[in-house]
Structure 1
């Protein structure tokens, strides 16, 4: 969770820096310093709560309201947006035997309490690992390959 917050903050800082602004954020407010020729211009904003996720855009937003700063040079409100993350939690199924193509699959079922827009089941497919047969270790395989080349 901390990594997600840090990543979101880093993206916002990078985006703001592109516009000539420096953002700092803590739990209660956002501080925006302008670097566009105005010396020591600071705008402090109170953070509103995040909106519900918009299923069409997969985005949610929050409104920042000016708390402290020059009302002529600071925007009265700003809007932050970020991608929604679905809370899809699955109960892992068991892996099936390897098929003729060398793949195996498992079917996972959606856990209760997950986002209702999540798929009820998901199927995972991966390549099978070729395990050595009983009594044959990795060195034995290498030696067998060497002998076959000669």
Structure 2
């Protein structure tokens, strides 16, 4: 668990340093600090709401408005963007029989109220589980008697 936390922190810091800024975000605002070695600069921004998803880019954006900081060193507004998550919800179908390639398939249908850009049906394929024959009690007892 510690390893995962340290790795996540290292990646976050690497990205922040690469962009020249360190971001801290809570429910109400975003704090942006400039990279170490430059003039100590803190810019606090109020967060606007997220826009609707743009179907062409599959991204949504939010505008940050300067709340506290030096207006000569801080941008008055910033824009954050992130990928949209499609709201595709499916009703699961039933699994078919195993085919000669040891795979089975099911077809799921899109539930009502899902994103209109989602596929109406999706097909899921997975490997069949092979059943390993377990020795019965009678066979175990017979083996014990032979030894």
User: What is the TM-score normalised by the length of structure 1?
Assistant: 0.76
Residues 54 and 76 of structure 1: CA distance in aligned 2, closer, same or farther (over 3 Å): same
Who is 2:79 aligned against? Answer: 79
User: How many residues are treated as equivalent by the alignment?
Assistant: 126
CA RMSD of aligned residues (A): 2.1
Quote the offset at 1:19 in angstroms: 2.3
Structure 2 unmatched runs, 5+: 1-9, 137-147
Tell me whether 69-78 or 18-27 shows the greater mean CA deviation. Answer: 18-27
Return the offset for 1:13.
6.2
Q: Is 1:28 aligned with 2:25?
A: no
1:61 maps to which residue?
61
Residue deviations 1:9-55 (CA, integer Å, cap 9, x gap): x987654331221111011100011135212x210001111111111
Cα distance in 2 for partners of 1:11, 1:60 equals: 23
Q: Partner of 2:134 in structure 1?
A: 137
1:87 is paired with a residue whose SS is coil
- Worse-matched range after superposition: 102-111 or 12-21: 12-21
Provide TM-score, normalisation by structure 2: 0.77
Give 3-state SS (helix, strand or coil) of 1:53's partner.
Answer: coil
Where does the alignment leave 5 or more consecutive residues of structure 1 unmatched?
A: 1-9, 140-150
Show structure 1 runs of 4+ deviating over 3 A: 10-16
